[in-house]
Amino acid sequence: MNDREGRPAGLRERTRRAVQAEIVEAAMRLFLEQGFEATTMEQIASEIGTSRRSLFRYFGTKEDIVLGDHADHGKVLQAALEARPAHEPPWEALRAALKQLVESLPYSPRDFLKITSMLHASPSLRARQHEKRQQWTELLVPDIARRLGAAADPMAEVRARALVACALSCSEVATEVWVRSEGTVDMEQAFDEAVAAVRG
């Protein structure tokens, strides 16, 4: 793992990341076993053999443990979008990038359904997730604005932001329908239906 300037990360940073990964793994196991709301920071600390105070050095809240990698997911989504062919229309490019993001997640379909169900069941998680996904918009808008081919038009950014917001909302709707169906509804088909409704 390298730092922002391409140098190998120092031992302290590598150790910190390893501890964070251990905390996330233990916490997610507890969340899936007994529920997000029922799991306490004390239980998570006990699970990894540390104190609650030490745990807070790495994560300020339970929500941060679940959603801490959302910023990284945004960067994965941005890279996937920017890697799409330059001539590809915005909707198609966004769809392909979102699909690539889902496929890159390190979860089995069963665990992904459990984790997503947990997210949708917790108001605090959903609020924090929405906040973090707002950051995704900022990452995606520049590429979509270029695809619209009207960089000199002051309204190009407005159209780009509207497209990105709609695509992310359609993704959220499709995911929610998939969760409610307990994984029986095809998520891609649900996304396409949502997009068709918006575009129609």
Please give the Cα distance from 37 to 42 (Å, whole number).
Answer: 13
Q: Give the per-residue pLDDT at 193.
A: 96
Q: Please name the residues in contact with 193: beta carbons below 8 A apart, sequence gap of 6 or more.
A: 174
Q: Give the per-residue pLDDT at 1.
A: 46
Other Cβ atoms within 10 Å of 3 Cβ, number: 10
pLDDT at 6 over 70: no
* pLDDT tens, position by position, 60-118: 888 888 887 777 888 999 999 999 999 999 999 999 999 999 888 877 888 888 888 88
Residue 106 vs residue 183, higher pLDDT: 183
80 vs 37, 75, 83, 100, 105, CA distance in Å?
34, 8, 5, 7, 13
In this structure, whether the domain defined by 69-199 belongs to CATH 2.60.40.2130 is answered with: no
Residue 8 vs residue 47, higher pLDDT: 47
* pLDDT tens, position by position, 125-158: 888 888 878 889 999 999 999 998 866 677 888 9
Buried b (16+ CB within 10 A) or exposed e, 88-97: eebbebbbbb
Helix (H/G/I), strand (E/B), else coil: 89: coil
Instruction: Give span(s): CATH 1.10.10.60, the chain.
Output: 11-61
Region 174-178 average pLDDT: 94
Q: Give the per-residue pLDDT at 166.
A: 95
- pTM, whole model, 2 decimals? 0.77
* pLDDT tens, position by position, 10-58: 788 788 888 888 898 898 889 888 888 889 999 999 999 988 888 888 8
Please give the Cα distance from 168 to 133 (Å, whole number).
Answer: 8
Instruction: Give span(s): CATH 1.10.357.10, the chain.
Output: 69-199
In this structure, whether the domain defined by 11-61 belongs to CATH 1.20.120.80 is answered with: no
Rounded to 5 degrees, φ, ψ at 59 are -140, 130
Q: Give the per-residue pLDDT at 9.
A: 59
Q: Give the per-residue pLDDT at 118.
A: 86
